[in-house]
Chains A and B, each alone.
Chain A
Amino acid sequence: MCQKMIQQFLKEAVMNRQSILGTFAVAVLFSVVFTSCKKEEHQYHTVIDKIEAESQNYQGTSISSDQYLSEINLIEITEGDHTFLIPERKSQIKSFECNECHSKPIEELKGEGHGQKAHWDLTLIHANKSTMNCATCHDGSNMDELKSLTGVKIDFNNSYNLCSQCHSKELDDWKGGAHGKRMESWAPPRASLTCVDCHNPHDPSFDSRWPSRFNTQTEEERK
């Protein structure tokens, strides 16, 4: 369009004026039109085009999440194509290691008549009773580690492997970043919270509660 217009204008100008000044004016006009048509804001049709084009030679930025993560105890995991950091878990569990009390299998401990000393208030509100009980995840003979459905040991730090046995869709989303939550920073290296940082494994759904804000001004204005 631009070129067509300029050509037409050139023709007109040359026929009508034929003066040096006229040609000069056309030259100035040409440069103005040319530069304004190439304005960067109109370079791309959609923002997706822009993202695709401009990320082609992405070399990284100077912004890093390191300064925000240095105080946090993190471990690196690799799941499929994704490598990222998750919070270390075992140091956060109260009274870990478990075998300090659970020195014997549960059945034997029960037989000794110790009664209920800790976490006796735990109730499992996760799936139904025919699907899950304590032994679905915990190994009664080795309380320091978790176990998969087929009895393979799973470290408490990597408990997401346990959840992902059923919640495979959530695992995919979490690995990619659509489920769960980034810690502190959008910049690389990526650190994400793991399942148990938001969900209580014994009662994983979110509670209903009152919103933390009510705008009285808006209410007033809408009366």
Chain B
Amino acid sequence: MSNTKKWFSLNLRNTKTANNDSCGCGKTSGACDSSTNQHNLSDADFDAAVDTSIADETPKDGFGQVFDVQMDRRSAFKKLTASLLIGAGAVSTSCSVIADDDAKEKAQIDWEEQFKGNYKLMTNDEKSATVDRLVRSYQIRTGKTISMSSKNAEEDVLFGYAFNISKCQGYMDCVNACIEENNQDRNSEMQYIRIHEMKDGKGLNFREADDNYYHEVPAEGHFYMGTQCFHCDNPPCVEVCPVQATWREEDGLVVVDYDWCVGCRYCMAACPYDGRRFNWSKPEVPEKEVNHNQHYLGNRLRKKGVMEKCTFCVQRSRAGQNPACVEACPTGARIFGNLLDPESTIRWVLENKKVFRLKEDLGTEPKFWYFMD
């Protein structure tokens, strides 16, 4: 493999004929691009290159995803060490005559969870298997039973959101409801929603806005604007994820597999809307405040070092309910619905009110619109 490269190098000296024709699909990586860079390869090399690029698209099972990848010695050793520790734990507990059945079961669950694949690539059976394991593991650890869903996106549903900036009074009831619903870290006081208090007559000036006010609201001469994850249809956060731990579902929700995320925070940097949050410490939720109605991609308990964000309350919205923020808003400033249903209220808002989105020129296509009365 003489010059098979997976990266793109600038050809400044113009040694070979540059092919400036780019593919119209707008995709700057993957197969479209490889055609322009690799047509000087020998045939065998070329076939091999095609095979590798196709292999990227074919789903692998959990073991395949972990082991069937090229890696350097360092990361290979890292993976092996982590796996060996778990394996050693599993073997010692399962062979031990003193360990009780719960401990053995827990070791078994840990083992299987360690080697499960990316949720995005799982079959429905694998999804429900991992959800069952997580529920059982929680039960063994705390003695409490949670319900966790792995419900997939419904056909003919595309979720969208509208926010009325004339109506919001800045009460922040939505923020509270969101934290309780989504089991957010109480320690670092994480919140997906920010309510920005903006001065009248200054436009949408986020630099001068205050999102942590504490005085009687609505304050004279101000208006309020809420931001959260906008569930872009062309999400830059998804593009940059090096391990594909975040993706856009068929119903438009941009979700994170907390068990696949490596915590690099590229997505946080790529998001132009400050929509993503990082767990710098182990998230803590008092046991009696834990919301037991959970979804794998939604409000299940997170761990240290992973990203999370608003999911439009996937555990609620996929079951037909409004997200917690919509339900909590006392002013009716928040509207949620199915963009594909021509009779839905969200569609009426889009078609009859003067709606706008933030940073529309970026082409991120957020599915979160603002409007005024």
Asked if A70 is at the interface of the complex by the 8 Å CB criterion, the answer is: no
CA of A173 to CA of B351, assembled, Å: 12
Q: Mark B211-249, 1 if CB is under 8 A from A, else 0.
A: 111111110000000000000011000000000000010
CA of A142 to CA of B169, assembled, Å: 38
Whether B157 and A176, one on each chain, are in contact in the complex, defined by CB atoms closer than 8 angstroms, is: no
Comparing B46-54, B78-86, B101-109, B128-136, the segment that makes contact with chain A is: B46-54
CA of A188 to CA of B341, assembled, Å: 10
Instruction: Kindly state the interface size class of chain A when it binds its partner.
Output: 35 or more
B residues 15-38 in Cβ contact with A at 8 Å: 19, 21-27, 30-32, 34-36
Closest A-chain residue to B167, C-beta based? A179
Comparing B69-77, B91-99, B257-265, B314-322, the segment that makes contact with chain A is: B314-322
B residues 128-153 in Cβ contact with A at 8 Å: none
Asked if B173 is at the interface of the complex by the 8 Å CB criterion, the answer is: yes
Whether B39 and A62, one on each chain, are in contact in the complex, defined by CB atoms closer than 8 angstroms, is: no
Asked if A120 is at the interface of the complex by the 8 Å CB criterion, the answer is: no
Chain B interface SS verdict (over half): loop
| Chain B residues, CB < 8 A from A122 | none
Contacts A2-B23, A37-B25 given; indicate if A218 touches B212 (C-beta within 8 A): yes
What are 29 pairs between A and B in contact, CB < 8 Å? A9-B35, A12-B39, A19-B43, A29-B46, A32-B34, A32-B35, A33-B32, A35-B31, A38-B25, A47-B234, A51-B158, A51-B160, A63-B157, A169-B373, A176-B349, A178-B352, A179-B167, A182-B326, A184-B327, A186-B336, A186-B338, A186-B346, A193-B332, A206-B331, A210-B215, A211-B195, A211-B213, A215-B212, A218-B211
Please pick, from B217, B339, B352, the residue contacting A209 in the complex, using a CB distance under 8 A. Answer: B217
Contacts A55-B342, A222-B212 given; indicate if A217 touches B349 (C-beta within 8 A): no
Contacts A2-B23, A177-B335, A206-B331 given; indicate if A28 touches B320 (C-beta within 8 A): no
Q: Nearest 9 pairs between A and B by C-beta?
A: A177-B345, A1-B24, A176-B348, A181-B332, A47-B233, A36-B31, A217-B189, A37-B25, A47-B365
CA of A41 to CA of B331, assembled, Å: 36
Asked if B359 is at the interface of the complex by the 8 Å CB criterion, the answer is: no
Whether A37 and B23, one on each chain, are in contact in the complex, defined by CB atoms closer than 8 angstroms, is: yes
| Chain A residues, CB < 8 A from B154 | 61-63
Closest A-chain residue to B36, C-beta based? A5
Q: Mark A181-195, 1 if CB is under 8 A from B, else 0.
A: 110111110101100
Quote the shortest CB–CB distance from A6 to chain B (angstroms). 8
Asked if B307 is at the interface of the complex by the 8 Å CB criterion, the answer is: no
| Chain B residues, CB < 8 A from A9 | 35, 39
Asked if A204 is at the interface of the complex by the 8 Å CB criterion, the answer is: no
Whether A32 and B50, one on each chain, are in contact in the complex, defined by CB atoms closer than 8 angstroms, is: yes
Quote the shortest CB–CB distance from B39 to chain A (angstroms). 6
Whether B36 and A60, one on each chain, are in contact in the complex, defined by CB atoms closer than 8 angstroms, is: no
Whether B322 and A173, one on each chain, are in contact in the complex, defined by CB atoms closer than 8 angstroms, is: no
Asked if A22 is at the interface of the complex by the 8 Å CB criterion, the answer is: yes
What 7 additional pairs, Cβ within 8 angstroms, besides A36-B25, A187-B320?
A5-B21, A42-B27, A47-B365, A186-B317, A188-B343, A211-B170, A212-B172
Whether B365 and A206, one on each chain, are in contact in the complex, defined by CB atoms closer than 8 angstroms, is: no
Closest B-chain residue to A21, C-beta based? B43
Whether A178 and B349, one on each chain, are in contact in the complex, defined by CB atoms closer than 8 angstroms, is: yes
Please pick, from A41, A211, A217, the residue contacting B217 in the complex, using a CB distance under 8 A. Answer: A211
Whether B171 and A212, one on each chain, are in contact in the complex, defined by CB atoms closer than 8 angstroms, is: yes
Whether B47 and A25, one on each chain, are in contact in the complex, defined by CB atoms closer than 8 angstroms, is: yes
| Chain A residues, CB < 8 A from B196 | none
Asked if B329 is at the interface of the complex by the 8 Å CB criterion, the answer is: yes
Whether B172 and A211, one on each chain, are in contact in the complex, defined by CB atoms closer than 8 angstroms, is: yes
User: What residues make up the interface of B, taking CB atoms closer than 8 Å to A?
Assistant: 19, 21-27, 30-32, 34-36, 39, 43, 46-47, 50, 53-54, 154-158, 160, 162, 164, 167, 169-173, 175-176, 188-189, 191, 195, 211-218, 233-234, 248, 317-322, 326-327, 329-332, 335-349, 352-353, 365, 367, 371, 373
| Chain A residues, CB < 8 A from B27 | 36-37, 39, 42
Whether B320 and A68, one on each chain, are in contact in the complex, defined by CB atoms closer than 8 angstroms, is: yes
CA of A37 to CA of B329, assembled, Å: 43
Please pick, from A8, A28, A193, the residue contacting B50 in the complex, using a CB distance under 8 A. Answer: A28
Whether A22 and B23, one on each chain, are in contact in the complex, defined by CB atoms closer than 8 angstroms, is: no
Asked if A78 is at the interface of the complex by the 8 Å CB criterion, the answer is: no
Closest A-chain residue to B53, C-beta based? A32
Please pick, from B158, B317, B353, the residue contacting A178 in the complex, using a CB distance under 8 A. Answer: B353
Quote the shortest CB–CB distance from B122 to chain A (angstroms). 20
Whether B365 and A61, one on each chain, are in contact in the complex, defined by CB atoms closer than 8 angstroms, is: no
Quote the shortest CB–CB distance from B322 to chain A (angstroms). 5
Contacts A179-B373, A182-B326, A217-B188 given; indicate if A211 touches B339 (C-beta within 8 A): no
| Chain B residues, CB < 8 A from A212 | 171-173, 175-176
A residues 161-185 in Cβ contact with B at 8 Å: 169, 173, 176-182, 184-185
| Chain A residues, CB < 8 A from B340 | 51, 54-55, 58
| Chain A residues, CB < 8 A from B172 | 211-213
Contacts A177-B348, A182-B335 given; indicate if A58 touches B342 (C-beta within 8 A): yes
Asked if A104 is at the interface of the complex by the 8 Å CB criterion, the answer is: no
Asked if A112 is at the interface of the complex by the 8 Å CB criterion, the answer is: no
| Chain B residues, CB < 8 A from A192 | 345
Asked if A148 is at the interface of the complex by the 8 Å CB criterion, the answer is: no
Closest B-chain residue to A175, C-beta based? B348
Quote the shortest CB–CB distance from A200 to chain B (angstroms). 13
Whether A29 and B35, one on each chain, are in contact in the complex, defined by CB atoms closer than 8 angstroms, is: yes
Asked if A67 is at the interface of the complex by the 8 Å CB criterion, the answer is: yes
